[in-house]
Amino acid sequence: MSAKCPDECPRKFVVGGNWKMNGSKKQIDEIISFLKAGPLDSNTEVVVGVPAVYLEYVRNNLPANIGVAGQNCYKEEKGAFTGEVSPLMLKDINVDWVILGHSERRQIFKETDDLIADKVAFALEKGLKVIACVGETLEQRESGKTEEVVFAQTQAIASKLKDWTNVVIAYEPVWAIGTGKTATPQQAQDVHKALREYIAKNIGADIAKSIRIQYGGSVTGANCVELAAMPDIDGFLVGGASLKPEFVNIVNARQ
């Protein structure tokens, strides 16, 4: 273990870039260039979440040490599900990760806790690693429901899972996404710690210790170091800034 990851931080830092519905071949080539140039801290696991049509291109053009994730997949192997992508298709093009339950999927596409839990379980069963997103809206935070919401979203997934080994949780407060309004390091730490305690009590003590919880919501090169210093923040899921060279600084945020 390096000086950056002493015994007290057994969880490998994991930084995801969620490109959302952004990018063109030209822009993606630029992103691939800055990712290749790095340098990326070898103690950090890096994954980029890519629009479905570009997944194979990105997988074929990035070095193997950078993971590639789909941004969604369905809970069936194949069949009459127009517009959907199967986890088997992701595996078929050597994509190892998928982001599921993002708040944009929940809010815009009306995905329920139950559907998301089914998708997480199915993707894992088919051998994908999953970034499962949870987080409260501004209204829920202001009415004191943050923990209730985040715990319920996590519990819905827990009810369908046996093994959390290949799961990373992303805590993304909806009010911080794309707004430039980041949770303070303490606000984020408080939720991460509470969620870890919830997992310890209700899902399993070992899982709580080993599961990585990313923070997402307006993470930038300017605020990442302070956030990364929090003991229960094990990485980031980055939207806007993952399209820019500053993503390299975010990958390297853990001091």
Q: Is 23 in the site for ligand 13P (CB under 6 A)?
A: no
Instruction: List helix spans (H) across the chain.
Output: 25-37, 55-61, 87-92, 103-108, 113-125, 138-142, 146-158, 185-202, 205-210, 224-228, 246-251
Name the residue nearer to ligand 13P (CB basis): 51 or 204.
Answer: 51
Quote the DSSP letter at residue 8.
T
In the complex, the smallest distance separating the C-beta of residue 194 from ligand 13P, rounded to whole angstroms, is 21
Does position 70 interact with ligand 13P (CB under 6 A)? The reply is no
Closest to ligand 13P by CB, 128 vs 241, is 241
Query: Encoding tokens for residue 123?
Result: 């993707």
Rounded to 5 degrees, what angle do the CA atoms 102, 93, 129 make?
40
The two three-digit tokens of residue 36, written as one number: 């290749």
Instruction: Return the residue of 217, 243, 247, 250 that touches ligand 13P, per CB under 6 A.
Output: 217
Report whether 70 contacts 55 (CB < 8 A): yes
Nearest Cα neighbor of 68 from 55, 81, 77 is 55
Q: Which residue has its beta carbon closest to ligand 13P?
A: 239
Number of residues that bind ligand 13P (CB under 6 A): 14
Closer residue to ligand 13P (CB): 23 or 217: 217
Residue given tokens 């827990």 in the structure block: 158
Strand 44-49 to 129-134 pairing: unpaired
Per CB under 6 A, contacts with ligand 13P among 97-126 are 102
Q: Is 246 in the site for ligand 13P (CB under 6 A)?
A: no
Identify the CA nearest to 52 among candidates 70, 67, 66.
Answer: 70
Of the pair 76, 113, the CB lying nearest ligand 13P is at 113
- Which residue pairs, CB below 8 angstroms and at least 24 apart, start in 4-10? 4/41, 4/43, 4/254, 4/255, 5/43, 5/254, 9/231, 10/209, 10/210
Site string for ligand 13P, 157-196 (x = CB under 6 A): ---------------x----xx------------------
Least Å distance, CB 8 to ligand 13P, is 27
Does 87 bind ligand 13P (CB under 6 A)? Our answer is no
CB of 233 to ligand 13P, least distance (A): 14
- C-beta separation of 150 from 195 below 8 A: yes
Shortest Å distance, C-beta 216 to ligand 13P: 4
CB 101 to ligand 13P: min, Å: 10
Pick the binder of ligand 13P from 218, 223, 234, 246 (CB under 6 A): 218
Answer yes or no whether residue 231 interacts with ligand 13P by CB under 6 A: no
Q: Which is nearer to ligand 13P, 15 or 237 (CB)?
A: 237
Strand partners, 41: none
Chain residues in the site for ligand 13P (CB under 6 A): 18, 102, 172, 177-178, 216-219, 237-241
